[in-house]
Amino acid sequence: MIKIYHNPRCRKSREGLDLLEKSGKEFEVIKYLEDVPTKEELRQILSCLSISPENLVRKNEAIWKEKFRGKLLSDEEILEAMIQYPKLIERPIVVKGNKAVVGRPPERIQEVL
C-alpha cells in the first residue's frame, strides 16, 4: 500500500496528493500533523529514504531556527524534535514498500509509482 504523509496546507504536498490521485493507484493519506508518526515509524521512513534524520528536517521552519539551529543534536534528539514539532518533517513523503521519496518537487513521486 502506498502512503503519503501529507499536510493539506502545503502547496507541494497538495500537488503530490493530486499526482497520486491521477495515478489511479490505491493509497493512504496520513495527515502527519494530526497523526504524528512514532519514532519507529520515522526510523522506517528514514530507512526507506536512505537519509539521516537531519536531512528530513525543514530547517527554514521558525521552530527549528528558534529552538534547534546551531545546536549539535544526536539523531535521537532530532527524531524527538520531529515528534514534538511535526511541522519540522519535510513533506510530502510517499512510501511504497521499502522505497520512499520526499515529493520535492512533486514529480519525484513517480519514482515510487
Alpha carbon 4 to chain centroid distance?
8
Given the DSSP bridges, would you call strands 2-6 and 27-31 parallel, antiparallel or unpaired? parallel
Nearest to 101 by CA among 12, 33, 9, 26: 12
Q: Could you confirm whether 48 is annotated as catalytic?
A: no
C-alpha cell at 42: 520515522
Which of 4, 10, 102, 109 is catalytic? The answer is 10
Which residues form the catalytic set? Answer: 10
